[in-house]
Amino acid sequence: MRKRFEQTPELDYCPISEVYINKKTRHQLGPLLLGLQHIFTDKELSKSVFKILEEKIMEGKKYTGRPGMSMWEILVLGVVRLNLDIDYDFLLDQANNHNELRGVLGVQTKNVFDPKKKEYKYQTVVDNVSLMDDDTIAKINVELVKAGHAILKKKQKKQKKSWHWR
């Protein structure tokens, strides 16, 4: 049965919300990971995105069987692949070796040289990431734009209140 996301409750795993992502990087992966981290930490946005993923990935499937990759891992790897326009070989290399990406995936231990760390296999990545189609990504984008507009409205209200002269 595929789950939304379940971080291993071991002490050495770093929570996704606490993953340090370099904000000064000029590469597009940093801002992308920050956006994914925001999706994970914003409860309402996370709920709507997971609902869309469940509708697509679990369509016509029973809720039994092997666990496979979590929907969060599929989302993160799929978004990284599309946004960076990379092939599955490079995606696999990044998923197994890039510390910030592994942190947002929820599989990075505090000991980066841990011999028991989760390692992704090529066919697993291909089979799971290919489950996300253009329609699913478009639906998720709509939710992200709505969330962005809500954040912008909140900021505008705060600015208006701070300039009030009474």
Going by pLDDT thresholds of 50, 70 and 90, the confidence category of residue 69 is confident
Average pLDDT over residues 92-115: 87
Q: Please tell me whether the overall predicted TM-score, pTM, comes out greater than 0.75 for this model.
A: yes
Going by pLDDT thresholds of 50, 70 and 90, the confidence category of residue 114 is confident
- Residue 45 CA, chain-centre distance (Å), reads 12
Q: What's the pLDDT at 6?
A: 59
Q: Closest Cα partner for 144 from 21, 34, 24?
A: 34
CA distance 27 to 12: 28
Which own/partner pairs from 45-50 qualify as long-range (CB within 8 Å, at least 24 positions apart)? 45/143, 45/144, 45/147, 48/143, 49/75, 49/140, 49/143, 49/144, 50/4
The DSSP string of 24-86 is T--STHHHHHHHHHHHHH-HHHHHHHHHHHHHHHTTT--S-S---S-HHHHHHHHHHHHHHT-
Q: Residue written as tokens 């469940």?
A: 54
